Structure 1
Amino acid sequence: MKDLQFANTISALRKRKGITQDQVAAYVGVSKAAVSKWETGLSYPDILLLPKLATYYNLSIDELLGYKPQMTKEDIQKLYVELSQEFAIKPFDEIYERIQFIIDEYYSCFPLLMQMAVLLLNYQPMAGEKQQDVMNKAIELCHRIEENSEDLRLVRQAGSLEANCQLVMQNPERVLELLGNDVEPYIGNEILVAHAFQLLQKPEKAKETLQVSMFQYVIGLLAIAPNYLMMHSDQPEQFQEIVKRIEDLIDTFDVKNLNFNSSLVFYLITAQGYMMQQNDDKATEMIQKYVEVCKMIKFPITLHGDSFFDLIDEWLARELDLGSNATRDEQTIKTSLITSITNNPIFKPLLERTDVKSMLSNLQHKLGCD
């Protein structure tokens, strides 16, 4: 395939230039027969001739050979979606082999390596006996980015992703090595940036800056809350106060519609906490809220703003590496919405309750997972 691609390329270049094989041969210093073999895919030029041939056609050697060491953000997004969908219908080993081939092909495209590491982390539970190898591969990609990329933002993301992988692999010491032991003081740079845009007579950009910041802080608080909540599972009064405040936040900012996953994680963790307190009724109440949010999900899933956060859609598409796309395929998401309850041992006593059975049955039907 590569030979034919090169043959077609140099043949097309010669014809576009309106010259003969004799003229190419004379310039490069070979026979006409040699040029003919190149154009029919029977042979390649000697490697020492490539610079001269590329110069003749005013191309780089990479362009002449059809090699593209980098992928665009749009191409990376499309590839990620394609691979995530294939995980739902093809054997894991087959997709993993393809991912490794892509990594080898674009080993210097660090944004691509980052998304392949994210993809491997998201789908490693499906790897079976290869789970350890998959996690090590994701960490290897993070190391390559950290050691070679000049994009400081990408380097920070790689460090965070590696910490995530290390946490999954039960290596807390490595997590602290990567992220440190202390929380840095809040600086508030986004406020300064917004003021700067105002001075430049760009009020809409100033509004977007502050709105995006508020959005991220709301979602960030909801990401922290479940872990903080579980640390108080043995203190019912404090536990209930945290639940109340986070539910108020969810309602105030309509998080169920704005970012449903944040709500789902919170309700699921809250239900687990109530089970640890042997409060089955409250746990069932949280599962009911979880199910209600699941039923509100609109597929295909995209990240989006709402009437309050009405300036974040463009930012999401522009700044997030995967744009507004979901990080996993639709079928895997739907299945996980069910198994997050049915496969969790702590909920086993609830699965015999008629009301819980009915809720899960209705959810399976709604999602098409009967």
Structure 2
Amino acid sequence: MIQIAKTIKKERLRRGMTQEALAEYLNTTKTTISKWENASLYPDITMLPKLAKVFNISVDDLLNYSTTMTDEEIKKISISLSKMINHTSYPEYLATVREYYITHCNEFKFLNSLLGILLNNILYCENKLQLKETASLTHEIIKTTEDNSDSIHLKKHAQGYKTLLYMFEGDYSSVIENTPDFDLKIGENATLAIAYLQKDNISKAKNVIQTDMYQSLMIFMHDFALMLSRDLHTVSIESLESKLYHLNQAFNVDYLYPHLSINCYYQFALYYVEKSDSRAIDYLKNYCKCFDYLVSDFVYQKDDFFNEIDEWLDTLPLGERLPANYENTLSVMYSRVSENEHFNTLENFKYIKKDLLRIYNKKDESN
């Protein structure tokens, strides 16, 4: 998979250089050169231009990099890395991500995918050192993208990941300083859809407008769940219940975004624990329904209203698959209810636990 070790050795020998001579030129050690050549260590990204210069080749040639990665290749690698965290150690997973970064440092679309994977899995760091190493690699990839990519959109995505990384690092001041309180939305996608209509491209107009609405509704659901869980609402819980009910009637959000709706039902169930057993159980049943959707299909769902979003899904690093760790996400969602002592006093809670376990055990059949 990694060709740079072979290339360094081959080019060094072609130039008639010893490891000592190369080390002296690069202001490093013979041991470091040896490790590069046996693939036990990889050069820092800043060292690549120097290596390419001494060998009189391009960085692309040094990395054995000849063609742009296809979307399918990016998707395949991204899914593999996303699943890797469950089947290997965190250091091995992180080393693999670093290797892909080193060998594809000019593939900015792929780098954006790596950023998403790193931040989705950062919660699985086992200690502060792993968190520091992950943050360092993530910052490096972000800087590479910001400094070298020609794509405004990829740079914007990288900056979004930087904000998220600040959150994981606990650097809330940087989040506030680098994120405007209010971002004026001027409806670029609606304008784009109209432009496509003027060109008689109805199919593209549908793609654009549906994708914009789908993502806007998803962000709304995320904000709604956050408002509910962090007590940021100014109306009663009963009013929020009604709003979610009617939102479901209108847009089928439980099916489309079960990973978001499930958080709302969890909060509603907690609210009713000491007020009404039957209401709490009803919301836990809704929780189970959303959980079942996720176990069966861990993907961005479509329905008859949102049936023209495939083109957008094809642009995502993981395709239609949700950008989160399947096994760990389900484990957390299962245990936060089944092991929650607040629910133990509810009549018939044992049936909820039984149903949750039944659904949870389906995961091996689904993925």
Alignment TM-score, normalising by the size of structure 2:
0.74
Residues 57-84 of structure 1: per-residue CA shift (max 9 Å, x gap):
xx98956983348533321211111122
| 2:140 alignment partner in structure 1 | 140
**RMSD between aligned alpha carbons?**
3.4
For 2:124 and 2:271, the matched residues in 1 are separated by 27
TM alignment of 1:328-367, pairs within 5 A: 328-342=324-338, 347-351=340-344, 353=346, 355-367=348-360
Question: Which residue identity is paired with 1:227?
Answer: L
Q: Judging changes above 3 Å, is the alpha-carbon distance between structure 1 residues 219 and 100 closer, same or farther for their aligned structure 2 residues?
A: same
Task: Single out whichever of 254-263 and 226-235 deviates more from structure 2.
Answer: 226-235
Deviation at 1:307, TM superposition (A): 0.9
| 1:23 alignment partner in structure 2 | none
- SS of match in other structure, 1:309: coil
TM alignment of 1:251-270, pairs within 5 A: 251-270=249-268
For 2:245 and 2:163, the matched residues in 1 are separated by 29
Question: Which residue identity is paired with 1:365?
Answer: R
Deviation at 1:153, TM superposition (A): 0.6
Q: Judging changes above 3 Å, is the alpha-carbon distance between structure 1 residues 80 and 128 closer, same or farther for their aligned structure 2 residues?
A: same
1:296 is aligned, of 284, 293, 299, to 293
Deviation at 1:214, TM superposition (A): 1.9
Deviation at 1:234, TM superposition (A): 8.4
| 2:25 alignment partner in structure 1 | none
Deviation at 1:146, TM superposition (A): 2.4
| 1:224 alignment partner in structure 2 | 223
| 2:207 alignment partner in structure 1 | 208
Q: Point out which structure has higher relative CO (alpha carbons under 8 A, 6+ apart).
A: 2
- SS of match in other structure, 1:204: helix
| 1:46 alignment partner in structure 2 | 15
For 2:4 and 2:144, the matched residues in 1 are separated by 30
Q: Judging changes above 3 Å, is the alpha-carbon distance between structure 1 residues 252 and 282 closer, same or farther for their aligned structure 2 residues?
A: same
Report if aligned partners of 2:291, 2:359 keep a CA contact under 8 Å in 1.
no
| 2:24 alignment partner in structure 1 | none
Structure 1 position 167 matched with structure 2 position 167: yes
Deviation at 1:203, TM superposition (A): 2.2
Report if aligned partners of 1:149, 1:155 keep a CA contact under 8 Å in 2.
yes
Report if aligned partners of 1:222, 1:246 keep a CA contact under 8 Å in 2.
no
Structure 2 gap ranges (5+):
18-56
Task: Single out whichever of 75-84 and 190-199 deviates more from structure 2.
Answer: 190-199
| 1:325 alignment partner in structure 2 | 321
For 1:3 and 1:160, the matched residues in 2 are separated by 31
| 1:310 alignment partner in structure 2 | 307
Report if aligned partners of 1:77, 1:322 keep a CA contact under 8 Å in 2.
yes
| 1:94 alignment partner in structure 2 | 92
- SS of match in other structure, 2:185: coil
Deviation at 1:336, TM superposition (A): 2.6
For 1:91 and 1:233, the matched residues in 2 are separated by 38
Deviation at 1:208, TM superposition (A): 2.5
- SS of match in other structure, 2:242: helix
Question: Which residue identity is paired with 2:356?
Answer: L
Report if aligned partners of 1:121, 1:165 keep a CA contact under 8 Å in 2.
yes
State the percentage of identical aligned residues. 20
Deviation at 1:217, TM superposition (A): 1.9
Question: Which residue identity is paired with 2:110?
Answer: L
Deviation at 1:101, TM superposition (A): 2.0
Deviation at 1:278, TM superposition (A): 7.1
For 1:333 and 1:73, the matched residues in 2 are separated by 26
Structure 1 position 177 matched with structure 2 position 177: yes
Report if aligned partners of 2:300, 2:322 keep a CA contact under 8 Å in 1.
yes
Q: Judging changes above 3 Å, is the alpha-carbon distance between structure 1 residues 244 and 3 closer, same or farther for their aligned structure 2 residues?
A: closer
- SS of match in other structure, 1:229: helix
For 2:76 and 2:135, the matched residues in 1 are separated by 23
- SS of match in other structure, 2:191: helix
Structure 1 gap ranges (5+):
7-37, 49-58
For 2:105 and 2:267, the matched residues in 1 are separated by 39
For 1:239 and 1:156, the matched residues in 2 are separated by 36
Deviation at 1:262, TM superposition (A): 2.2
Deviation at 1:149, TM superposition (A): 2.0
For 1:184 and 1:194, the matched residues in 2 are separated by 21
Question: Which residue identity is paired with 1:82?
Answer: S
Question: Which residue identity is paired with 2:357?
Answer: Q
| Bigger radius of gyration among the two | 1
For 1:4 and 1:156, the matched residues in 2 are separated by 33
For 2:162 and 2:62, the matched residues in 1 are separated by 37
TM alignment of 1:270-289, pairs within 5 A: 270-272=268-270, 282-289=279-286
For 1:355 and 1:307, the matched residues in 2 are separated by 36
Deviation at 1:270, TM superposition (A): 3.8
Report if aligned partners of 1:92, 1:127 keep a CA contact under 8 Å in 2.
yes
Deviation at 1:44, TM superposition (A): 4.6
Question: Which residue identity is paired with 1:314?
Answer: E
Q: Judging changes above 3 Å, is the alpha-carbon distance between structure 1 residues 231 and 299 closer, same or farther for their aligned structure 2 residues?
A: closer
Give the number of aligned pairs: 320
For 2:233 and 2:58, the matched residues in 1 are separated by 65
